[in-house]
């Protein structure tokens, strides 16, 4: 077996391991570590597909393994992060957060058989959804908030489940359909968010503020896509 055929699947397994350890870290309420591991999994997830294309060794096994790994790292891990954060606050109602794992699996299964999603997404992709919840929990866990906020967060998790399996189009960075002008606006907005949060983090010496940048960037990505969709319908 040529070693180049092993590389993509090895990166996918590294993604899965990141997700598995992130789940464990969530159970220990080490949310910042869980967030970092989900980010690591996202990096491995990007390079496993890229390496398969660069090395010209795509395989049906790699496609299925990628989806299984993604549901651990971007489905179960963020669901457990949210559940473990909410459980001490709102009790067993926090189990609702685990729906993120189920809807992520459904989203990944739909992606595998949906030929419309070769260059863009129909529904919110699992990696940004996972990054949103993991980074948001990092910030929430370090902040004193009113008692009603966790219930709003739980309701928002149901909204994210809907977005995962919705028919709303979301652009992919692999797609050229967005256009240069809109891409520049999106990148500029993302850089502004990251720069602002990084400056706040340095000023306040709080790494959780930097983690919050992930959640805000994903929220910006969702809002930007919705405005793009509205603009396209006019």
**For the residues 122-139, what does the mean pLDDT come to?**
91
Half-sphere exposure of 200 (CA within 13 A, CB side): 13
Give the pLDDT confidence of 42-81 residue by residue, as tens digits. Answer: 989 888 877 777 877 777 777 888 889 999 999 999 999 9
Q: Is 182 exposed, middle or buried (0-12, 13-18, 19+ CB in 10 A)?
A: middle
Contacts of 78 by beta carbon, 8 Å cutoff, 6+ apart: 38, 100, 129, 130, 132, 133, 134
The pTM for the full model equals: 0.84
Residue 34 CB burial class (10 angstroms; 0-12, 13-18, ≥19):
buried
Q: Which two tokens stand for residue 222?
A: 């969702």
What pLDDT, on the 0 to 100 scale, is given for residue 72?
95
Q: Rounded CA gap, 104 and 109, in Å?
A: 9
Q: What is the CATH number of domain 3-171?
A: 1.20.120.1760
pLDDT of 163 higher than 90: yes
Could you tell me the residue ranges of all domains in the chain? 3-171
pLDDT at position 62 is: 76
Does residue 186 or residue 91 have the better pLDDT? 91
Chain Cα centroid distance, residue 172: 13
């Amino acid at each position: 077996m040529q070693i180049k055929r092993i590389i993509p699947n090895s990166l996918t397994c590294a993604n899965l391991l990141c997700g598995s350890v992130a789940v464990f870290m969530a159970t220990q309420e080490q949310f910042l570590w869980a967030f970092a591991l989900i980010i690591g999994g996202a990096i491995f997830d990007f390079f496993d597909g890229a390496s398969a294309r660069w090395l010209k060794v795509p395989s049906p096994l790699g496609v299925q393994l990628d989806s299984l790994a993604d549901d651990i790292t971007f489905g179960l891990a963020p669901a457990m992060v949210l559940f473990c954060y909410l459980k001490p606050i709102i009790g067993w109602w926090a189990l609702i957060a685990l729906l993120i794992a189920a809807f992520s699996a459904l989203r990944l299964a739909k992606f595998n058989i949906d030929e419309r999603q070769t260059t863009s997404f129909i529904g919110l992709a699992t990696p940004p959804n996972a990054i949103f919840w993991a980074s948001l929990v990092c910030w929430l866990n370090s902040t004193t908030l009113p008692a009603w906020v966790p219930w709003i967060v739980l309701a928002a998790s149901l909204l994210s489940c809907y977005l995962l399996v919705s028919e709303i189009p979301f652009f992919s960075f692999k797609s050229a359909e967005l256009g240069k002008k809109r891409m520049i606006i999106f990148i500029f907005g993302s850089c502004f968010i990251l720069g602002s949060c990084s400056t706040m983090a340095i000023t306040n010496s709080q790494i959780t503020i930097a983690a919050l940048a992930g959640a805000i960037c994903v929220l910006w990505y969702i809002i930007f896509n919705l405005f793009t969709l509205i603009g396209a319908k006019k």
